[in-house]
Structure 1
Amino acid sequence: MLYIVGGGAIGSLVAAGAQKHGVPYQQYPRNVKHCPSSAVWLNGEIVTLQPACSMPSVLQADDVVVLPLKVYQLSQALHFWLPYLVNQPTVVLLHNGMGGAEIANDILGPDYPLLLATTSHGALKKETENGSVIVEYTGKGETQMGALDVQAFGCSNKTSSILTSKLCSKLPSKLSSAISLLSAALPPTHYCDDIQKALWSKLAVNAVINPLTAINNIQNKHILDSQFDKQRQAICSEFTATANAYGFSFCEKQVHERVMAVAKATGENYSSMHQDIVNKRPSEIGAINGYLIERAKQKGIATPINTLLTQQIKEIEAQFNTNISM
């Protein structure tokens, strides 16, 4: 069984994929009323979701729990779900930004079967004219998943050293089952040997697209405009210096080219941070550019452009709070 925590765009897209492809699932949003009741697929097909749930029961060891939440929501969610995880079902963190693994390890313990995931599928949650909430599938992508500690899935050190990115008999059954379940719901899903580098690579894209689209109230495609050339390149430069200081081997030019490619491929989309700012919700700036700043600081690396963008987003968020209190 697939358990989806939250009623956001990506979580609802996973639920819709499970519904469409016959994968048993349950969705547990924070507010049932705000959870989409249907999804619009890429071909225009309408997928009706089963009613959302409010209270879970104890899960089984072969179940999979997906948390497509904001990083700042993880602690509260995991503490709520902790009593239902006594049989150690696989937990999958699926969010923008970084820092989620540290939170999960503190709450679940370092030996818990935990998977980290990143997806390039696009989804947009919105309210229709008649007041119903839907999710639109806005762009087909792929999901990469990996474990920081494959031994938590019953994998020996010898086996873990020869794991490949393909689903194969060398993967522990618990790990393989979790990936297969997610891939059946929203294909394709691949196992990634170096999930940390994949997450850092996604961080680079988010660090550019998210704050610039949010601050300037633009779609992703406008990141390609010449007025953002210097900012794009400066963010990529600070990212590359920081990531490589932690042992990665990113090429600044290639990082910038990938940012450009993603912005072009998702050109009509609005970033998640843009949507947060437009809807006056807290953003993930702390888990994206803020995370990069903190890691750079530990290595003595200056990050003036990331610091400026982070301050600008925080100032906008502070204005939301001011307006609410007035």
Structure 2
Amino acid sequence: MGKLHIVGGGAIGSLIAASAQKNGVPYDCYPRDRKSMPSWAQWQDGQTTMLKPAKFAPVALAETDVLILPLKVYQLNSALLQWLPYLTQQPTVVLLHNGMGGLETATELLGYDYPLLLATTSHGALKVKASTGDVYVQYTGVGATQIGAPQIYAPSCDSPPPDTLSDLSQKKPQLANAIAALHDALPPVQYQGNILKALWTKLSVNAVINPLTALHNIQNKYIADAQFEQSRNAICDEFTQVANAYGLDFDAKSVHENVLSVAKATGENFSSMHQDVAHGRQTEIDAINGYIVDMATKKGIPVPENTLLVERVKALKL
């Protein structure tokens, strides 16, 4: 089995590292700031797991290794440029982020035929500063990770991804082995033959919950309130028009129902965009609602609600 190499010191990356430690899967972490890297993880039953000391700099990876990038979309370009000299053996790269646009960044730098996986997770994790000043990661919600090989429309890559994990094992064993390693570290990891549909589904949820919670300084559960009904419906309608223009098959009513379901299921949580605004960090608005606007523009589809949300969230930083 190859080793997992986890870039960044965020909550989800640290959770993967802690679970790998707990389950005996080899791993290393490479945070930008070693001081902000969690020292341990606290599980839901109160048990703790200590993390290995973080690495200072990238190292050359073997083909059997897995490079995991649980970063913001806007951080991907610089991270990949830093790692590029160490990827000569073409280890599997896993993109794990909110929003969209990461695939375009990765293929531009790595090439269309690079062994690449896209993933999205519903596990919940939060970085917490202890009274001692140490940072730890708290496991806040059991979830699952969906993963798959992207459909890339390029002259050398015109065949669709395998429908099943068994087919993937036959055609692309390197990717199947990487998925197995991730499953061993933090289960369950579920293979999706159409991972882009799964990512667009998550985008529809993020497009509603993230900007509205950030703009109104509220927890996720309040998104279901009647005062947001008009905005929710408008975002979902625009999302559906854009997604379906790119060959996906969404129904606006079902999209809206799924948004409400997620908002209620994660009711006590604050969205990542809410937290970014609260802590004065750059938001992922360009990779979420901004992505919908960009894709709509290419098809000539008006999306006034999403356009307004992008402008309003960006204005919060002023």
Q: TM-score range by the shorter chain?
A: over 0.9
Unaligned runs of 5+ in 1: 320-326
Instruction: After superposing the two structures, state which structure 1 stretch, 64-73 or 12-21, moved more.
Output: 12-21
Identify if the C-alpha distance between structure 1 residues 161 and 77 changes in structure 2 by more than 3 Å, giving closer, same or farther.
closer
Length-normalised TM-score, structure 2: 0.94
Q: 2:231: which partner in 1?
A: 231
Letter in 2 for 1:104: A
Moved over 2 A (4+): 160-163, 165-172
Contact 2:161 2:193 in 1 (8 A): no
Contact 2:165 2:176 in 1 (8 A): no
Aligned pair 1:22/2:24, yes or no? Answer: yes
Q: 1:274: which partner in 2?
A: 274
Contact 2:220 2:266 in 1 (8 A): yes
Length-normalised TM-score, structure 1: 0.92
In 2, the alpha carbon distance for the partners of 1:261 and 1:186 equals 24
Contact 1:6 1:28 in 2 (8 A): yes
Aligned pair 1:132/2:107, yes or no? Answer: no
Contact 1:163 1:171 in 2 (8 A): no
In 2, the alpha carbon distance for the partners of 1:177 and 1:225 equals 44
Letter in 1 for 2:75: Q
Q: Deviations over 1:221-264 (max 9, x none)?
A: 11111111111111101100110111111011110111111111
Q: 2:89: which partner in 1?
A: 87
In 2, the alpha carbon distance for the partners of 1:144 and 1:4 equals 18
Q: 1:47: which partner in 2?
A: 49
In 1, the alpha carbon distance for the partners of 2:312 and 2:149 equals 34
Q: How does 1:127-276 map to 2 (within 5 A)?
A: 127-148=129-150, 163-164=163-164, 169-170=169-170, 172-276=172-276
Q: 1:299: which partner in 2?
A: 299
Letter in 1 for 2:185: A
Letter in 2 for 1:311: E
Identity rate of aligned residues, in percent?
58
In 2, the alpha carbon distance for the partners of 1:29 and 1:167 equals 35
Contact 1:119 1:142 in 2 (8 A): yes
Q: How does 1:2-21 map to 2 (within 5 A)?
A: 2-21=4-23
**Cα distance, 1:170 vs structure 2:** 3.5
**Cα distance, 1:126 vs structure 2:** 2.1
Letter in 1 for 2:300: G
* Count of matched residue pairs: 314
Out of 72, 75, 86, the position equivalent to 2:74 is: 72
Identify if the C-alpha distance between structure 1 residues 130 and 259 changes in structure 2 by more than 3 Å, giving closer, same or farther.
same
Out of 25, 34, 37, the position equivalent to 2:36 is: 34
Contact 1:167 1:190 in 2 (8 A): no
Report the aligned-residue RMSD. Answer: 2.0
In 1, the alpha carbon distance for the partners of 2:206 and 2:256 equals 12
**Cα distance, 1:59 vs structure 2:** 0.4
In 1, the alpha carbon distance for the partners of 2:246 and 2:91 equals 31
Letter in 2 for 1:136: Q
Contact 2:125 2:137 in 1 (8 A): yes
Q: 1:57: which partner in 2?
A: 59
Instruction: After superposing the two structures, state which structure 1 stretch, 170-179 or 247-256, moved more.
Output: 170-179
Unaligned runs of 5+ in 2: none
In 1, the alpha carbon distance for the partners of 2:119 and 2:20 equals 17
Matched residue SS, 1:39? strand
